[in-house]
């Protein structure tokens, strides 16, 4: 069972928006896609590119460095050159708090 911690409020990331948060030595990118929040680590598995700065196409975020694409719903690779999924975090909304689940 992950440990959920509040990292932002729903009003701070509107539909189509994203932001990055430093949480316990992790950089976590949070995306709002159609009112649903998704969170992945903000480090491309190809060569550490900043995913939060990439273009979002549907549920796919494109790394701004070499164009790898990841599904924000799972962290799965959708396009090379990355071959390893990016770390994904569960997200829940409690009231207006956006909470991300971390492993203990």
Please select the residue that binds ligand FES; options are 29, 68, 91, 100, rule is CB under 6 A: 68
> What is the C-alpha separation between 28 and 40, in angstroms, rounded?
6
Q: What are the helix and strand counts (H, E) for the chain?
A: 0, 11
Rounded alpha-carbon distances, angstroms, from residue 31 to 1, 5, 35, 81: 22, 16, 9, 22
61 binds ligand FES (CB under 6 A): no
Site string for ligand FES, 6-35 (x = CB under 6 A): ------------------------------
> What is the C-alpha separation between 36 and 28, in angstroms, rounded?
16
Q: Which is nearer to ligand FES, 51 or 98 (CB)?
A: 51
Q: Which is nearer to ligand FES, 63 or 98 (CB)?
A: 63
Q: Which is nearer to ligand FES, 46 or 99 (CB)?
A: 46
82 binds ligand FES (CB under 6 A): yes
Sheet of 36-41: strand order equals 18-23, 26-33, 36-41, 88-89
CB of 33 to ligand FES, least distance (A): 20
């Amino acid at each position: 069972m992950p440990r959920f911690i509040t990292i932002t409020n729903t009003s701070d990331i509107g539909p189509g928006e994203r932001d990055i948060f430093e949480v316990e030595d992790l950089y976590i990118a949070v995306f709002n896609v159609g009112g649903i929040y998704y969170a992945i680590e903000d480090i491309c598995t190809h060569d550490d590119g900043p995913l939060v700065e990439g273009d979002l196409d549907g549920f796919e975020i494109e790394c701004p460095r070499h164009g790898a694409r990841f599904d924000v719903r799972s962290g799965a690779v959708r396009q090379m050159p990355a071959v390893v999924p990016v770390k994904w975090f569960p997200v829940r909304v409690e009231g207006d708090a956006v909470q991300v689940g971390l492993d203990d």
